[in-house]
Structure 1
Amino acid sequence: MKQRRIEIYSDEPDNSVVRIPDNPFPASAIQGDSLFLLHGEAMDLVDELKHNPGSDSFYRAYRIASELEQRLRHYIEVCEQHDIELNFDIVCSVEDYQELLFD
């Protein structure tokens, strides 16, 4: 674990804005449990749209869910590496819907 000073522009819960040194733009920070809930909502959309997999809506929902899942997996991995116990895990994954994507 690194310890660095960061600039905090807003420390509003689930909506913090921070800037890490050497990054030109501030970042939006979200709590892991909120990220988990957003991923779940996106997965619900993917599931609702699975009957029309060729649609633009399905593809966009899938991409959003995939991006959120990638961030959520990274979050879980980092917490595990630092022995931070979480009370959630990914149950439904975009991988379950990959066969519906067209190349």
Structure 2
Amino acid sequence: MDHVETELLTDGENDAVVRLPGRRFPGVLIRGDSLHMLRSDVAEVVEACERGRLAEAAESADIVLGSLDALLTRYATALELHEIERPY
């Protein structure tokens, strides 16, 4: 295991925005339980599509999109606060 210093651009709560040494752009650190929940939400979309339940799939997809939008907003806000350009 390597120990390195990182730049913490947000609080250390869930979904911290951090920059690793030697990297131009920061990333989002997602805890394992949050990653598992996101994966479960996507699995619900796939399952609903396979069963032809499009309204249910759309509802589940909206939940996933909301979660990803929240992550992206947190990321963009952190970059703006630290005057770092976005990689997109």
TM range (shorter): 0.5 to 0.7
Aligned residues: 55
CA drift at 1:12: 4.4
- Mapped to 1, the partners of 2:13 and 2:37 lie a distance apart of 15
Alpha-carbon displacement from aligned partner over 1:72-93 (angstroms, at most 9, x marks no partner): xxxxxxxxxxxxxxxxxxxxxx
Unaligned runs of 5+ in 2: 65-88
Report deviation, 1:15: 2.0
Where do 5+ consecutive residues of structure 1 fail to align?
65-103
Residues 73-92 of structure 1 aligned to structure 2 (within 5 Å): none
Question: What is the alpha-carbon distance in structure 2 between the residues aligned to residue 47 and residue 12 of structure 1?
Answer: 34
Runs of 4+ in 1 over 4 A off after TM superposition: none
RMSD: 2.1
Return the alpha-carbon distance in structure 1 between the equivalents of residues 46 and 12 of structure 2: 30
What are the within-5 Å matches in structure 2 for residues 64-75 of structure 1?
Answer: none
Amino acid at match of 1:15: D
1: CA distance, partners of 2:3 / 2:18? 15
